[in-house]
Amino acid sequence: MSEYIDHDSTGQSIGLVTKHTFTFGESGQGISLDSGRSLGPVKLAYETCGTLNSDKSNAILICHALTGDSHMAGYYSEDDPKPGWWDIMVGPGKPLDTDKYFFICSNVIGGCMGSTGPVSTNPETDKPYGTAFPVVTIGDMVQCQRHLIDHLGIDKLLAVVGGSVGGMQVLEWSVRYPERVRAALPLATTTKHSAQAIAFNEVARQAIMADPKWNKGDYYESGRPEHGLAVARMVGHITYLSDESMRHKFDRRLQDRVELSFDFEADFQVESYLRYQGNKFVDRFDANSFLYLTKAADYFNLENTYGDGSLVAAFSRASCRYLVISFTSDWLYPTYQSKTMVKAMKKNGLNVSFCEIEAPWGHDAFLLPNDRLNGLLTGFLDRVTADCGIGGAQ
């Protein structure tokens, strides 16, 4: 997930928002993780916007991508220079319309944006967990989100929506808690990583672990592995773009020079761009969290976890309706992977809509303005609301 944060051209915004926290699993009552270990207490940072109706039936959970956070839209303060990561989509009159729905977004466990993760204090040592933090899965993340939904008193979500790793969480919700979800909108995602996707993540992880400052994850007092994390981000960022988008943005244009330098400085604009993205990333993200979150994405395998190797069997657990969206230039999670999940859904007689959207910008297309995507989300949610007889915000 890149940091595409755009102001809506209409000027419509939900305005100021607040980051909340919810803690559970205290007093030794931690959650059981897929690894067999337990974790507690667990803190989740989350954000809400819109108005919950009287019977709490208009709630939509938004799941963020790999390096996202709970700040989905609006601003934290009057002088905040950046809105939330999906501000172009969430707000009054927008595709994810806060005049109609109540939205929730929480930072996943294992992250570093307010939820429990490697940077959190280990109650057994009173120091940051580091790599003593247990390996978590997409299923573990969703289990924690369910605790939050329970805390908010919501019995059934109108919808769960998310792109990329957020889309994995959407799929997990639909088969893990089928009785809690009316509709699922997985965007630009997959039911399992390909070998190529795992390979890119492994190169990124090795870049971090090869940095001497990583110190086997114990670097919170000695200094962060900034170089390794920056390189890891550069690797990941390449997978979010497309050949066409990189050609359009950079081609082989030089950066602040008219001829080659014949040294190892950044000659090309694309080199300078990647270095900038890497250096910016280290200011806001934790290296250990990057290791944990990429591993969780690699471990995700819906057909093995819920279908004993059969995707059709996995989706036999589901009962919600789906809107599956892919993008033509997404080579990280290409359209054939979306078509595979749609085929498995349809074999179970599920109500499924699918669209491949023409977009040149690669995997990150779901984060960028797109009229086709806007119309699909708006129309689908309107139909779900009407068919279920659900009233809007009151």
Distances (CA, A) of 368 to 50, 257, 327, 374: 22, 30, 12, 10
Q: Annotated binding residue at 284?
A: no
Question: Is 6 assigned to a binding site?
Answer: no
Nearest CA-CA partner of 152 in 88, 250, 60: 60
> Residues with Cβ < 8 Å from 238, sequence gap 6 or more?
274
From the centroid of its chain, how far is CA 91?
A: 19
164 carries an active-site annotation: yes
List 57, 70, 115, 164, catalytic entry: 164
Set 57, 71, 330, 338: catalytic member? 330
- Would you give the end-to-end CA distance of the chain in angstroms? 34
Beta bridge partners, 75, equal 16
Helices (H), the chain: 138-151, 165-176, 195-210, 226-240, 243-249, 269-282, 287-299, 302-307, 311-315, 335-347, 371-388
- Please give the backbone phi and psi of residue 145, each rounded to the nearest 5 degrees, phi first: -60, -35
Please state, in angstroms and rounded to a whole number, the distance separating the CA atoms of residues 64 and 165: 7
Which pair of tokens denotes residue 295? 């591993």
DSSP 8-state symbol, 128: E
Residues, the chain? 394
* Dist. CA 15–CA 381, nearest whole Å: 23
Q: Which residues are annotated as a binding site?
A: 233, 364
Q: Which residues are catalytic?
A: 164, 330, 363
Q: Which residues are annotated as a binding site for substrate?
A: 233, 364
